[in-house]
Amino acid sequence: MAPQTRGLSFPKVVIERDSDSEESSSEEEDLEEEEEAEVENDAGEESDEGHVEEKDEPSTSTKSRREPITISLKKVCKVCKKPGHEAGFRGATYIDCPMKPCFLCKMPGHTTMTCPHRVATEYGVAPAPFKSTHSSMEYVFERQLRCRISAIKPTFVIPNQVNCAVIRYHSRRVTCLEFHPTRNNILISGDKKGQLGVWDYLKVHERTVYGNIHGCILNNMKFSPLNDGTVYGASSDGTVSSTDLETGMSLTLVNLNPDGWQGPNSWRMLYGLDMNFDKGILLAADNFGLFYMVDTRSDNIIGKPILIHKKGTKVTGLHCHPLQPDLLLSCGNDHFARIWDMRRLEAGASIYDLPHKRVVNSAYFSPQTGSKILTTSQDNRLRVWDSIFGNLDSPSREIVHSHDFNRHLTAFRAEWDPKDASESLVVVGRYISENYNGVALHPIDFIDVSTGQLVAQVMDPNITTISPVNKLHPRDDVLASGSSRSIFIWRPQENFELKRPRDESRIVLCGKGEKYRKGKFQDDSDDDLDNDAYGSKSSKTKKPNLKSKARGFKQKR
């Protein structure tokens, strides 16, 4: 395995960040120097010592003077619009704007690069070794060391290697994943278009996508506890569906927009979905703060909708307690997670309100005893309440973790490991990237929420996109992750090294792969063809390979 360049890139970066003048930075990297020289040449040709303001000239005058619209020649930070520094990728390392609060922990005074939370997940949760230090170098060093150590606790088995995948499986980004409750190798997936995928990841090539179930985002899915061939879905088209996985036949149980599109103020979207198996009713919640109970036999909404979150705000999730059928957990855009008693479900009657600083993407009871609560909030913090029977006034722990909101990404949701008897292992995708061998990768983090420690961070050189959707298998040591339109299955691998050659027959390439196939491999028939998109050694066709795909990576030539 090639020596890691992490060690090289970070110190360099730190030096550059602190420099105000561009000259000093250019001593460091020839690459940068070249780029900047070019820019300045262009500037000369245009013979306009551009002021930023110039670009606002009306287009007519610009035309008459035959001058191209002046680009601000003074380099300006794209974040704060001030000169003297620039935010953005330098190679595979992202440089924050120093004028803004830390992108990770949202506190002012430092950048992501030197954020103590980036060094140690448990910073601020439990004493961390470098807690009182203020030297960025020390943080950086600590980080490098940390990555070398395989931080896998013996008790936790971490699926750390991609075992199989379907690349560009869905036609839009993946929004949710569920493992089949009884058939071990079946994974179902929902996407932004409302389509539902069924994939047998053991027989890698066996997969289907059902397209006619929903009109837009499939936000949550839930298997029927009575019939595991049936799955329910809640969608932003305002419907709850019931789909037979074998046939793809789908029924609409509920439609909250029977009159069609009447404008955004009336269009109702369903997000949260769960099933109360005790009563045999489906629970769903919408973007106006309302909660619905659906009788799956009569397909009727039971009673009137109940306002469970601030009027007009989205309820992002619902979760029934695994043992106490009367307990319900909800979360929403009003910055609250709420615990409810199903027997007394009415507006304002929540048992507890758990406040957050931002939108709450998800809230889950712990999977086995249901005594803990885990929430993911857009303030970049995971919160854990250790006992719902104890003091709920404040969370037992807040763990700073990068899972920011981005309108183009599926919202991150930290998920419990359903197999972990200690109910402490959690998986969650990471937004900010790490520079790995000059490639920006977004790992999937395994966090021990009892300590806040990062147990493992898994990544693959070929997955350069963010993986906001993750699910751990209820029985097997398997992780499923959804990243953009693709789905990956991870399994544990000892002595795992990134870049290890892998079994390419277990990678299915869909969609645009066809193009490559026609051009380069005049191969046949159907898209089950194994491509080398994933491979390390293979031909020049490959876009998705490290270098070409790496963000901001400039190939030296």
Partner DNA sequence: AAACCATGATACC
Partner DNA sequence: TGGTATCCCTGGTT
Binding site for DNA (CB under 7 A): 78-81, 87, 89, 94, 96-97, 100-101, 103-104, 112, 168, 173, 314, 333, 335, 358-359, 378, 405-409, 431-433, 440, 442, 464-466, 483-486, 511-512, 551
**Is the Cβ of residue 474 or residue 535 nearer to DNA in the bound state?**
535
**Is the Cβ of residue 424 or residue 435 nearer to DNA in the bound state?**
435
Residue 518's Cβ-count burial label (10 Å; 0-12, 13-18, 19+) is exposed
**Is the Cβ of residue 97 or residue 294 nearer to DNA in the bound state?**
97
**Is the Cβ of residue 130 or residue 405 nearer to DNA in the bound state?**
405
Minimum CB separation of residue 192 from DNA in Å reads: 8
> What is the DSSP secondary structure assignment for residue 74, as one 8-state letter?
S
| 399 DSSP β-pair partners | 382
Minimum CB separation of residue 433 from DNA in Å reads: 4
Categorise residue 289: left if φ over 0, alpha if ψ from -120 to 50, beta otherwise: left
**Is the Cβ of residue 101 or residue 418 nearer to DNA in the bound state?**
101
What one-letter code names the amino acid at 534?
Y
**Is the Cβ of residue 499 or residue 554 nearer to DNA in the bound state?**
554
What one-letter code names the amino acid at 81?
K
Minimum CB separation of residue 35 from DNA in Å reads: 9
Minimum CB separation of residue 483 from DNA in Å reads: 6
Element counts in the chain: helices (H) and strands (E): 8, 33
Residue 527's Cβ-count burial label (10 Å; 0-12, 13-18, 19+) is middle
In DSSP notation, 273-320 reads EEEETTTTEEEEEETTSEEEEEETTTTEEEEEEEE-SSTTS-EEEEEE
Minimum CB separation of residue 238 from DNA in Å reads: 14
Coil vs helix vs strand at 26: helix
**Is the Cβ of residue 92 or residue 231 nearer to DNA in the bound state?**
92
| HEC string for 134-187 | CCHHHHHHHHHHHHHCCCCCCCCCCCCEEEEEEECCCCCCEEEEEECCCCCCEE
Vertex 539 angle, CA 441 and 544, to 5°:
25
Could you give the C-alpha distances from 69 to 14, 78, 212, 528, in angstroms and in order?
A: 35, 18, 47, 49
Minimum CB separation of residue 214 from DNA in Å reads: 14
Distance, in Å, from the CA atom of 2 to the CA atom of 343, rounded to the nearest integer, reads 60
**Is the Cβ of residue 110 or residue 397 nearer to DNA in the bound state?**
110
**Is the Cβ of residue 335 or residue 502 nearer to DNA in the bound state?**
335
Minimum CB separation of residue 512 from DNA in Å reads: 5
Minimum CB separation of residue 121 from DNA in Å reads: 15
What one-letter code names the amino acid at 45?
E
Closest CA to 428 of 410, 415, 417: 415
Contact 1, 127 (CB under 8 A): no
**Is the Cβ of residue 499 or residue 551 nearer to DNA in the bound state?**
551
